[in-house]
Amino acid sequence: MSDLSPFDAMPDPVLGAALRDALTLPHDGAFVARVRARLGSRDRGWDDVLAGWFWQGLVAASLVAFMAGWAAMSPGTVMGELPESVGAQLLDGARPGSDLLLTAMAGNR
């Protein structure tokens, strides 16, 4: 306890006993025995766990493949066609002002 706070970090025996009484189940020993028995009956290896995940993994992989195909075929994209780079557009000369821009970049007067 300090002058700034009337509380201290020491456990309160009255409050602790009241909490233990309120949170204790009437048959907590039987519950713990059932949980331990169920945990002890699980003798699964790592390969059995992975085999249980097979169908979920197959569905997830199928969804990813479908979404990738759908995104590739969305309007505005053509398979195999990449946008033309800025350098290729400048060197092509078909764009108006490309020769002026190249001259300015080269520093020739």
Q: Which amino acid is at 94?
A: A
Closest CA to 90 of 102, 82, 104: 102
Question: How far is 69 from 79, CA to CA, in rounded Å?
Answer: 11
Tokens 């505005």 found at: 76
Count CA atoms closer than 13 A to 86's CA, side-chain side.
2
Supply the pTM of this predicted model.
Answer: 0.32
pLDDT in tens, 4-43: 777 777 888 898 888 888 778 777 778 778 877 877 766 7
pLDDT in tens, 40-73: 766 777 777 788 888 899 999 999 999 988 887 7
List the chain domain ranges. 13-72, 80-109
Count CA atoms closer than 13 A to 43's CA, side-chain side.
1
Q: Other C-beta atoms within 10 Å of 19: how many?
A: 11
Residue 89: exposure state from Cβ atoms within 10 A (0-12, 13-18, ≥19): middle
